[in-house]
Structure 1
Amino acid sequence: MKALYKPAFFLLLLLLPFATYAQKQKPKSKAQLEKEKTENLKRIKEANRILQQTKAQKEASLGQLNAIQEKITVQQGVITNISKEVSFIDSEVRETESIVNALESDLEKLKKEYATMVYAASKSANSYNKLMFLFAADSFNQLVRRMRYLQQYSEARKKQVEQINKVQIALTRQLNLLASKRQEKRGLLNKQIAESKNLQSLKQEQNNVVSRLSQQEQNLKQEVAQRQSAVKKLDNLIADIVREEMARAAREAREAGRATSGSANKITLTPEAALISSSFAGNRGRLAWPVEKGFISQRFGRHNHPVLKGVVVENRGIDIQTAQGENARAIFEGKVLTVASVPGMNNIVMVQHGEYFTVYAKLRTVNVKEGQNVKMKDVIGTVYTDADGTTELQFQIWKNNANLDPSGWIISK
């Protein structure tokens, strides 16, 4: 008897479900894309809340401009995320189409084979022909073999019908999946168009705010000068505190008979402080944010002013814009080294983590005292809101007397 055709893709579907098969071929799963989408929506919600608070106080301000820029950044992320989803679905559609084509080919071959079997069976459809076929055997053994052949042929026809039905069911399922994927893609493309329009609206809003701020050039220049003066005062305060801490630690080490550091620019650590310092360094990139919600409104280092042409500002840390009434939190365990007040920076808190220091400036209130031990995410104060309605924390990280970029230390959002 002729061997029956075995559909390869049908066996593949039985052994390996298509959804799992498709996902394993992708660098990013659909679940990861959904997570990115959720995080972007959360960031947009936070930026909206912050933007509304700045708008309520003043028609145009740098805080408002920063919030709009954050929304633009997140909006671009939303559009990129949609593009990735579309690419993901395109790949799924191509694979589904490949499976559909293979199943259709399998089904056609199975039907042709079944038609041949039916035609052959029709020639011996009556009992007389079957009996003649059996009794024409030359021997008893041949008779037994012919009986077994007729039985196997009958079973093969039944199996062929079952296989055709299964392939038809699998084909229908894949066609429905294909239609669903194409519909999902159309929905995403429509959403991408809508989000692109939102992005253009945000950029127009940004241009309008920049235009209004440009009319306040003198006020902005005065604000820049005041900020730079405040930054310098804060730098001097931090430098003095670090020098005092170095001298104190070296003096206590000598009195205790411990070896002091060979460098004048390093703090002599006790074994306990060395452990905290090592742990702080080991958690680089995973340290907690100094506020629960918010975004980086001004990054570390020198950069151009967002409105004033030719004006360069320098940031010794990062500014984090947040919502009114938001708490400032310790990013890691340590000891409160200093609580002070600096004109233009309001209240500040400096926390020591071995040879590392974190500085929290622009605080409205302070909840801790000098010498107090704090743990990660302990509240150290509330962030100050200025006359423009901008609530912004100035956050710095130092290692001994070297200034570091905090964005590389806290966990990325």
Structure 2
Amino acid sequence: MHIFKHRILVLCLLFFSSTFVFAQGGKQKELEARRLELSREIQQINVLLSSNQSKKKSQISQIEDLNHKLSVRENLIKVTNQQANLLTREINSNQKQITENRVELTLLKESYAKMLQKAYKNKNKQSRVMFLLSSNNFKQAYKRVQYLNQYADYQKEQADKIKQKTIDLQKANIKLLEQKEVKSNLIAENKIEQKTLQLERMEHEEIMKSIKKDLNKYTAQIKAKQKEAKRIDNEIDKLIRDAITASNKKAGVKTTTKSKSFALTAEAKALAADFLGSKGKLPWPVEKGVIKLRYGKQPSPLDRTLTINSNGVRISTAKGEKVRAVFNGEVMSILKPRRSNPIVMIKHGNYITTYQNLGKIYVKKGDKVTTKQEIGEVFTNPTTGETILKFRIDKDDKTQNPSSWIYKM
């Protein structure tokens, strides 16, 4: 019973140990994937910024770029630190295991040596045959045969254990060296990132000093941009409300108050269900880009007392970048606001995706489009060199956070 309990305890320890190791390995892979993702984003930001260096970008735009860059780099440093800390715990755990394995291997070798020494002495005193012939009866002789066989098996088992333990120890040592090298590389990379972050913060402070000298002027510019954005948002909202009214009228839906949701056909319901099923997996509306402004209410990067309300996201991309439909649907409208660039709106059942600031349009109202189909090209500002796509998602008459819908946004 005591041996049985001991075995159960050993099995439990092995199970929890392997589960812990698996969890650690999974976390390390997750952190590495995130680190590579952030590194790629920084590279992409640098490419976009360098392509616009010859242009005269506004200080507001420079601050927006730097804010995003600082945020991504700070996240990269944080993730790299987490990786290094996790590796430290793994290295310490492996070193402890290696020490325990060495002690166990030493004991196994000592035990095996004593066993061989005893077997050699017994072999000199009497042979196996004489040991069997000296038995008092057949039953005793049979038991002695069993004993000799078991003893031989035990010797072989001990020899195999020593061999396997030696191999395990060699593998653990190799893994430990690899982990130490990875940790060393991560620390070296983090030092470089810390220096770059410090330089970027200094650049940020210099621009902010210049801005603060005439903050009222820049605040007025932001408010003017917000006012213009609100005007265009109102036009988009009206188009959506009109489309809802038209769908209800076509379906013969009678309501005493103005309806806030689309009356859908069976086909439109199926399309909406497919769109919903793709939540978090929709492709980006451009192949390459970084988010300059996220969805929702947020403080201005220049004046923290000023709130910016964004109904979608602003994506900075490369000159000549094509705009893609994020899902199958029908072009609901092509809007051309005054003092602004064209907008394409695509309906997916009771969901609508809106693509603003286009320089070229490849579709017309009523066209059926498919996922990733090119519907236009993002406009590039000739003065600043900036190529910005504004993208939003609505469900009926309610805006949605695109980051919840677009893959890794």
TM-score (norm 2): 0.81
Cross-structure match for 2:281: 286
Cross-structure match for 2:374: 379
1:48 Cα deviation after fit? 0.8
Determine whether 1:237 maps to 2:235: yes
1:210 Cα deviation after fit? 2.8
- 1: distance between equivalents of 2:333 and 2:147? 96
1:290 Cα deviation after fit? 1.9
- 1: distance between equivalents of 2:299 and 2:205? 17
Residues 261 and 93 (structure 1 numbering): CA distance in 2 closer, same or farther, change over 3 Å?
farther
1:260 Cα deviation after fit? 4.2
Residue number among 350, 364, 370 corresponding to 1:369 in the alignment? 364
- 2: distance between equivalents of 1:154 and 1:221? 89
Task: State whether residues 230 and 342 of structure 1, in contact with CA within 8 Å, keep that contact through their aligned partners in structure 2.
Answer: no
Counterpart amino acid of residue 411 in structure 1:
Y
- 1: distance between equivalents of 2:171 and 2:296? 57
1:268-311 per-residue CA deviation (whole Å, 9 max, x = no partner) reads 33333333334334433333322222122112333322113543
Residues 98 and 395 (structure 1 numbering): CA distance in 2 closer, same or farther, change over 3 Å?
same
- Which structure 2 residues correspond to residues 344-359 of structure 1 after superposition, within 5 A? 344-359=339-354
1:143 Cα deviation after fit? 7.2
Residue number among 119, 132, 137 corresponding to 2:134 in the alignment? 137
Counterpart amino acid of residue 171 in structure 2:
R
Residues 368 and 147 (structure 1 numbering): CA distance in 2 closer, same or farther, change over 3 Å?
closer
Determine whether 1:200 maps to 2:201: no
- 2: distance between equivalents of 1:399 and 1:177? 51
Structure 2 residues not aligned, in runs of 5+:
1-6
Task: State whether residues 323 and 377 of structure 2, in contact with CA within 8 Å, keep that contact through their aligned partners in structure 1.
Answer: yes
Residues 231 and 95 (structure 1 numbering): CA distance in 2 closer, same or farther, change over 3 Å?
same
Determine whether 1:305 maps to 2:300: yes
- 1: distance between equivalents of 2:277 and 2:222? 36
Residues 403 and 122 (structure 1 numbering): CA distance in 2 closer, same or farther, change over 3 Å?
closer
Task: State whether residues 96 and 174 of structure 1, in contact with CA within 8 Å, keep that contact through their aligned partners in structure 2.
Answer: yes
Cross-structure match for 2:179: 181
Cross-structure match for 1:265: 259
Counterpart amino acid of residue 329 in structure 1:
R
Cross-structure match for 1:114: 112
- Identical residues among aligned pairs (%): 28
Counterpart amino acid of residue 196 in structure 1:
Q
- 1: distance between equivalents of 2:295 and 2:149? 83
Residues 92 and 305 (structure 1 numbering): CA distance in 2 closer, same or farther, change over 3 Å?
closer
Q: How many residues are aligned here?
A: 394
Determine whether 1:389 maps to 2:394: no
Residues 157 and 239 (structure 1 numbering): CA distance in 2 closer, same or farther, change over 3 Å?
closer
RMSD: 3.5
* Higher mean C-alpha deviation, range 157-166 or range 107-116: 157-166
- 2: distance between equivalents of 1:358 and 1:148? 80
1:155 Cα deviation after fit? 7.0
Determine whether 1:326 maps to 2:321: yes
Task: State whether residues 352 and 394 of structure 2, in contact with CA within 8 Å, keep that contact through their aligned partners in structure 1.
Answer: yes
Counterpart amino acid of residue 52 in structure 1:
S
Determine whether 1:402 maps to 2:409: no
TM-score (norm 1): 0.80
